[in-house]
Amino acid sequence: MDVIELLPHLHLLRFPVGQAYLWRDGDESTLIDAGPAGSAAPIAARVEGQLRRIVLTHFHEDHVGGAAELAAVTGAEVLAHRLDALAVRGEVPGPPPVFEDWERPLHAEALRHLPQGEFARPPKLTELSEGDVLDFGGGARVVHVPGHTPGSLALHLPEHGVLFTGDAVAASPFDGKVMLGVFNVDRAQALDSFAKLAALGANLACFGHGDPIMGPWTPPPA
């Protein structure tokens, strides 16, 4: 796991597939996404003070795989959007992506770097909805951004101008340009969600894949 400081109180945690973000308020921390299975120990080693909560942006294994173990070790509350909650808990399979042809080899390559087999699921989960405000970062507003999954969510911290997009938005690994996240269940919804996030005008956008960026961006063509 690579650790990159973005702000004095914000660090990016990068895994072979995907990434998470650790936000610190005084002696309490919040984790946005939890990495794939096996990530709990290295994440716990980076936490200063108490890990208060783990917010999951959606149900995919590279974002939720470490959540159950990390919650067991730290006592952190685990939160996810209500429309992805059953899939996060492993009670139902999540809907599969509708792949663009060019996405299929990318998906196969990502699977090659993820742990194989089932992983532990959070036994308890707090369900979130659009407009909920979480008690960190001066008030983190939950933004429902369906399309990548039905219950994908973003977190907007207006006081700090920071936005965590999950996989609704990504940065290209080739040129760093902002792009629509890949492997979506509904491309039309995903495009609408992208535009919704772009309109927030955050100063720092933190993606589930790719380097964070400073400043505004524009939606891609439909």
Segment 101-128, tens digit of pLDDT: 887 887 787 777 777 767 789 888 999 9
pLDDT in tens, 40-87: 999 999 898 899 999 999 999 999 999 999 999 999 999 999 999 999
Q: End-to-end CA distance of the chain: give it in Å, rounded.
A: 35
Q: Is residue 176 over pLDDT 90? A: no
Beta bridge partners of 32: 21, 55
Residue 108's pLDDT is: 80
Sign of the dihedral through C-alpha 41, 88, 208, 118: positive
Mean confidence (pLDDT) of the chain:
92
Residue 93 has pLDDT above 80, yes or no: yes
Please return the burial class of 88, using the count of CB atoms within 10 Å of its CB with bins 0-12, 13-18 and 19+: buried
C-alpha to C-alpha distance for 57 and 166, rounded to whole angstroms: 5
Confidence of residue 167 (pLDDT cuts 50, 70, 90): very high
> Quick check: 222 pLDDT over 60?
no
> What share of the chain in percent tops pLDDT 70?
97
Please, how many CA atoms are within 13 Å of residue 145, restricted to the half-sphere of its CB? 32
